[in-house]
Amino acid sequence: MKFRRTLFPDDQVNVRVQANSSYQIKRTMALYENDKGLELMTKSGVLKNSGNGARLRQFATFKDLKYEKNQQRQKERRRNNHNKQRKQ
């Protein structure tokens, strides 16, 4: 099977928050922003949700820092295994 590039990179997390009030959205987004494993990249304003009554929504994109650390560890392990095999 061929490797296929996905629509979104693996190190990004896309979030859509939907709530009845802007206060609920702001609190939820604050929880995401304070998470140590995520770094905020972009955030939209609070938008009205058309078609579903009086709901509001907001979109955000975060960089997954834990994913990056995991990728670095895997690269180091591969390098170490490759060096061990060369020495033998």
Distance CA 38, CA 65 (A): 6
Q: What percent of the chain has pLDDT over 90?
A: 7
Residue with tokens 């390098």: 79
Beta carbons of 44 and 19 less than 8 angstroms apart: no
Q: Given a cut of 60, is residue 1 above it in pLDDT? A: no
Q: Given a cut of 80, is residue 15 above it in pLDDT? A: yes
Beta carbons of 11 and 67 less than 8 angstroms apart: yes
What is the average per-residue pLDDT within 31-50? 86
pLDDT of residue 76: 86
Sorted by where each begins, the domain ranges of the chain are: 12-87
Distance CA 30, CA 41 (A): 14
DSSP summary character for residue 22: H
Q: Which of 8, 71, 12 is nearest to 38 (CA)?
A: 12
Band of residue 27 on the pLDDT scale cut at 50, 70, 90 = very high
Q: Given a cut of 80, is residue 12 above it in pLDDT? A: yes
Altogether, the residues listed in the chain come to a count of: 88
